[in-house]
Amino acid sequence: MAKFKKGTSGNPRGRTKGVPDRRTQARELFAQHRDELVGVAIEKALAGDMQALRLCLERICPPIRATDSPVNLGTLPPSLAEKGEHVLRELAAGKLAPDTAATIMVAIANHARITEVSQLEQRIAALEAGDAADPGHEPSQREQ
């Protein structure tokens, strides 16, 4: 049998006001002793403690993260399908990395959705403006 009832908070009222967050307390305590703690970590790293060394190195020289560089695709064709085909041809030719091509395809798909919504908004506004211009207009069976 489950220890907790599904969907029910174990503390529905939340933390009592005025009770400090333990993480904040811990940060303040570490801040008071920051210099000494860093000194101990460095001493241990210099003495050969591999975990301390790893900790120090990660702070001094964090791991390199991949960075994207700009890509020039030239002039893209007008239709969305042709844009997608162009990106796939560039990928197949080795001119684009797979992750870059995937990012561009997502951008093209998002642009298609934005364009579609924009066109729908324009059509709805035009329909509403047409109804407002013709007050005697009675809705057809299809409009109801």
- Specify the 3-state DSSP secondary structure of 4: coil
Q: Look up the pTM and report it.
A: 0.48
- Residue 94 is given by DSSP the state T
Q: What is the dihedral of CA 18, 23, 29, 34, to 10 degrees?
A: -150
- Note down pLDDT in tens along the chain; length 144 residues: 557 677 777 777 777 787 778 888 888 888 898 889 889 989 999 999 999 898 888 888 877 777 778 888 888 888 989 999 999 999 999 999 999 999 999 999 999 999 999 999 999 999 998 876 665 656 555 555
